[in-house]
Structure 1
Amino acid sequence: MEPEFNVAEELAKQPHLLEIPGHLLMKGGAQNYIGAVLCLRGTLYFKEAHTPLVREALCKCFDDFKRLGEPHLTWLWREEPRQGQPLSAYGEAKSLREMLGAMDEDDYLSFYYTSGKQSNDASAWLFDIFGMQGWAAKMGDELSALEFSIPLLYQEQNPLNFLRLFLDSARRLAPEQGYAGHAFNLSVTNRDGNEPTEAFMAARMPGLDVGTAGLLVNIPEFKPTKIKTVSWLTLLDQARLDLVGGLEELRAQLPSSHFAFYDYGNGVVIQAGAYPYLGGDA
């Protein structure tokens, strides 16, 4: 009898198997940085990012994330900051609370905390805020996005921590929709050069989450009560629950032997199976 395959053990032996060189499928070939890395990633779409209440909620979400991964964080990227530099070493950056406290409601929220050795490396530890300005929210572009991810080895060794982080973040932000499952994080500074890699892998890995959440918010397809995807964790607010007949109707279609339901205050998070699963094209 063959010994049972131990995922955590194999990942610990060869963690770099989940990393893909930058620009791998672009003309000219691979470059010397990590362009994409397979991870477990959660995404929440929420409103009111310009308000002090929600900004404090984002800080609390980051506090929780830091309890899991702060020793691994190395860089902070920001897009067009009004104060400070676009790139800071994590240990030299001001705290998220301090930076948000110095911003007004019309400042653009863009924070990417990463764990790569090089500043342009894709990394499995990621905490990413894309927050709409107050003036844009008042014009109807109200949705903002929070993304966070962990390495697959960490998930194997600590199977409940990510789930708790997702649920606690949802309860703080009252999002409209969200999801969590396997994804490829791309280099923050070189997305275009690595999207072909993401597309290539997505065609061969059913269930892989693709796309950049910050670019999807407020597109016309998100205006009605629709959802982007279904994954290991799928979050539906009450309006979306009502469209499928309510929670009890949904429970009748999803047996308790395979699905778990968590109330987050503004709707429900549905867990499909005990562990995230990624299919293969075979």
Structure 2
Amino acid sequence: MELNDLDLHYIEKWLPEASVKYRDGSQAVNLGLIITVFFKEGHTPEVRRKMVECVDRYYAEFKPHLKKTLPLKKWTAITEKNYAKQRQEILDSSPEGIFDWILSSGTESYLAPDYEVFIMGKRIFHNDNDRSVIKLVFPLSLLKESEGKERYQSWLMWLCNTFSVESGYAGLSFILPYAFERMFPYEYKLALRFPGVMVDSLGTLEGGEAVEGLKGPCWYTILGNPWLEKLGGAEKLAHRLKNTPEIELLPYNDGLILKAGELPPALGEAKTEELPRLLVKVNQLIKPIRYDGHNGLHFYSEHENFQFDKESTMKWYRRFDEASAALDKDDEGKSWEPVRITCWSGEKSPFDGRWATIINGTTQYTHTRAGQIMPDFEDKHGQKHRASWTLLERDDGGNVFAVKTDAGNR
């Protein structure tokens, strides 16, 4: 099942069963929207300044909803004084230090928030084996607001472009309180029932895991250039998605985002629904670079037998694999190879750019304008020969590759 613009009521239908309330009706676990991104250089003054500016931006946009912060070890009302103090402490912090800052709509540390911003910058000597993180929380109701979807995606694109994001995800998630460990059993039970929802209670602590691989498919799945290259590049992904136009490719400065539909994919309720088709497809694409989950989605607590351990975590990471393996084998990308665009002498050049051709070991170069007739190859005796020219570089900086299958079709 996939959602369209008229189907937000589908998610609302599941809210009572995909969330948890205390006896007094207050929220213990919400079903909401998140954006979690991982990036390097969180020890540098420039990036720490940008992280502070992220909090400033979120606070300016959602200030009426944000109530509490954690300046020390106590859940405290946000004031101008403690806001300015925490802000300046981060700006003045040493690259050898770690920092975090949270603003939340949760009035108590045991209540699940509708809105929250959390930033964590890592130490300079962890830059190669850990990642800094930003996590934003929004209510589902944002999608029903005028231009709500656009605001949500705008936040995602801004984060990816501002922080050279390496990986991350955005979409439906179970939103736990700041004191999240007491809710592990509930998140565990909900995750088994609703596999289309991201488990991210420890997302802000998973910077080390982000170095090893991607967490898995979500409504938006972020592929920084290092991960994108391991999958063969943007052109290969586009080829593999030729039969799945619902998945959109959103480029950003340092990578690509896979967007699985105009609205979040279905929850995939275990007893009544199939697995979300678009998440199954995204899983197929990213499986070679996916983290295996060996560190666990939860850590040890008193609820050991009712939460994720290593075995159940690794099984959760594999939850889409069987369905992904059953997809059309033509979509696996094994028959794809990148080849440069070519054009024969006498044909019109498709681009402004620089070309090369080789005949009998001699290379010649030419520069053409779009629509210009491609020249012949002229040998040392002045004889002209029809030649196949290969595009080396486009003046507009565009792609010089075409998609070619084993059958030779372009």
Distance in 2 (alpha carbons) for counterparts of 1:88 and 1:99 = 17
Distance in 2 (alpha carbons) for counterparts of 1:254 and 1:7 = 25
User: Would the aligned equivalents of 1:114 and 1:122 in 2 still touch at CA under 8 Å?
Assistant: no
Equivalent pairs, count = 260
Letter in 2 for 1:91: T
**2:169 is equivalent to residue 182 of structure 1:** no
What value does the CA root-mean-square deviation take over the aligned residues? 2.9
User: Would the aligned equivalents of 2:219 and 2:259 in 1 still touch at CA under 8 Å?
Assistant: yes
Find 2:182's aligned residue among 174, 189, 193: 193
Which digits, 9 at most, give the CA deviation of each residue in 1:82-102, with x for residues without a partner?
A: xxx643312343235323123
Q: Normalised by the size of structure 2, how large is the TM-score?
A: 0.57
Distance in 2 (alpha carbons) for counterparts of 1:214 and 1:6 = 31
Q: Name the counterpart of 2:246.
A: 258
Q: CA deviation at 1:280?
A: 1.9
SS of 2:34's equivalent in the other structure is: strand
Q: Name the counterpart of 1:229.
A: 216
User: Would the aligned equivalents of 2:251 and 2:257 in 1 still touch at CA under 8 Å?
Assistant: yes
Letter in 2 for 1:238: N
Letter in 2 for 1:43: T
Which digits, 9 at most, give the CA deviation of each residue in 1:33-71, with x for residues without a partner?
A: 632111110110111111111112212322332343221
Q: Name the counterpart of 1:38.
A: 31
Distance in 1 (alpha carbons) for counterparts of 2:228 and 2:64 = 39
Q: How does 1:68-147 map to 2 (within 5 A)?
A: 68-78=61-71, 81=72, 86-92=74-80, 93-95=82-84, 97-137=87-127, 140-147=128-135
SS of 2:253's equivalent in the other structure is: coil
Distance in 2 (alpha carbons) for counterparts of 1:196 and 1:182 = 19
Q: Name the counterpart of 2:235.
A: 248
Q: Normalised by the size of structure 1, how large is the TM-score?
A: 0.81
Letter in 2 for 1:45: F
Find 2:269's aligned residue among 255, 263, 280: 280
Distance in 1 (alpha carbons) for counterparts of 2:122 and 2:189 = 31
Q: Name the counterpart of 2:317.
A: none
SS of 2:83's equivalent in the other structure is: coil
Sequence identity (%): 23
* Bigger RCO (CA 8 Å, 6+ sep): 1
Q: Name the counterpart of 2:47.
A: 54
SS of 1:245's equivalent in the other structure is: coil
Quick check: 256-265 or 31-40, which moved more? 31-40
SS of 1:184's equivalent in the other structure is: strand
Q: Name the counterpart of 1:25.
A: none
CA spacing shift, 1:264–1:63, aligned 2, 3 Å: farther
Distance in 2 (alpha carbons) for counterparts of 1:151 and 1:203 = 22
Q: CA deviation at 1:154?
A: 1.5
Letter in 2 for 1:114: S
Distance in 2 (alpha carbons) for counterparts of 1:18 and 1:102 = 42
- Runs of at least 5 residues in structure 1 that lack an aligned partner in the other structure: 23-29
Distance in 1 (alpha carbons) for counterparts of 2:98 and 2:207 = 14
Distance in 2 (alpha carbons) for counterparts of 1:34 and 1:130 = 25
SS of 2:257's equivalent in the other structure is: strand
Which digits, 9 at most, give the CA deviation of each residue in 1:85-126, with x for residues without a partner?
A: 643312343235323123222332122211023343110211
Q: CA deviation at 1:273?
A: 0.6
Between structure 1 and structure 2, the one with the greater Rg is 2
CA spacing shift, 1:67–1:254, aligned 2, 3 Å: farther
Q: Name the counterpart of 2:59.
A: 66
- Runs of at least 5 residues in structure 2 that lack an aligned partner in the other structure: 273-410
Distance in 1 (alpha carbons) for counterparts of 2:263 and 2:234 = 22
Letter in 1 for 2:133: A
**2:202 is equivalent to residue 209 of structure 1:** no
